[in-house]
Structure 1
């Protein structure tokens, strides 16, 4: 695990494929205590998808990004589907985009040049705040373009990795 960036009073740490039993326990507790993932089995499974964690000055988790690899449609290229959760009292303006940017950059570098690797990242806007004009501006500001709509009516956005 290595610090890859900082934002205000937070450190962004790359943990992809490096989660330890201790970190997995901390992630499960973080999600449970903050109402993000209540099912302990689902939380444990998702610990293996964590890419970055945001830590406060005391070294406690305040935010998490996770990704999983999938095709958005039959015959389409692979993408990393991105999720993030920031603790409510730590949602400083700019922290979530910073965590996204670091996750994007690290994944783009990690698999660069591999023909079968995902071609970019996708997000499904499960948070209704991201469907507002302000939310859409934030999504577009970090380089996303509208891809379509999910089966449940949520907007789907994508950003390709630079070649």
Structure 2
């Protein structure tokens, strides 16, 4: 399992590798946190999970997920990124580590393939990301603000870099 560490948390890349047991743990996490109340929707989204953050006791502390879709305004496919971190585990930098790990793995696994998503889109539901400090965080992660969607949420884009030799880089 591809893992990175951050202040006592382990962030595991699990995209396309989830077992029934892991899916069950993720569904329970989302439901206990009231992040997703519909059991079927929670189960369906487990197949979109990219990374999980696990605390020192081995409990899920956070989950990132991605789904591929056409970005209408850009006219191209992108990975759309979402995450949820248990409020008790919202330590400074954990969300950024999860974003970075997800983007790097997606770029390494899929970028440059014909028809593959060109990068990652974040549609922000967190008002903190609209503050100057939040915007700086996303800029440091390589995202640029495209504007706002119809609901007024900030939309951020990061394209994958594909050098001349065709091998993708985050």
Match of 1:141 in 2: 140
- Structure-1-length-normalised TM-score: 0.95
Alpha-carbon distance in structure 2 between the residues aligned to 1:6 and 1:157: 25
- Kindly state the Cα deviation for residue 129 of structure 1 after the two structures are TM-superposed: 1.7
For this pair of structures, how many residues does the alignment match?
A: 162
Match of 1:126 in 2: 125
Alpha-carbon distance in structure 1 between the residues aligned to 2:46 and 2:71: 22
Match of 1:56 in 2: 55
- Kindly state the Cα deviation for residue 20 of structure 1 after the two structures are TM-superposed: 1.1
Deviations, residues 140-163 of structure 1 (Å, cap 9, x unaligned): 121110112212111101001111
Pairwise mapping of residues 4-153 of structure 1 onto structure 2 (< 5 A)?
4-73=3-72, 76-153=75-152
Which blocks of at least 5 consecutive residues in structure 2 are unaligned?
A: 163-170
The SS at the match of 2:27 is helix
- Kindly state the Cα deviation for residue 74 of structure 1 after the two structures are TM-superposed: 6.2
C-alpha contact (below 8 Å) 1:3/1:11 kept by paired residues: no
Deviations, residues 60-83 of structure 1 (Å, cap 9, x unaligned): 110100000011106711100000
Which blocks of at least 5 consecutive residues in structure 1 are unaligned?
A: none
Alpha-carbon distance in structure 1 between the residues aligned to 2:74 and 2:140: 29
Alpha-carbon distance in structure 2 between the residues aligned to 1:105 and 1:50: 15
Match of 2:166 in 1: none
C-alpha contact (below 8 Å) 2:81/2:122 kept by paired residues: yes
- Structure-2-length-normalised TM-score: 0.91
Over 3 Å counting, the alpha-carbon distance change for 1:91 and 1:14 in structure 2 is same
Alpha-carbon distance in structure 2 between the residues aligned to 1:59 and 1:49: 21
- Kindly state the Cα deviation for residue 112 of structure 1 after the two structures are TM-superposed: 3.2
- Kindly state the Cα deviation for residue 4 of structure 1 after the two structures are TM-superposed: 2.0
Alpha-carbon distance in structure 1 between the residues aligned to 2:122 and 2:77: 13
The SS at the match of 2:30 is helix
The SS at the match of 2:105 is helix
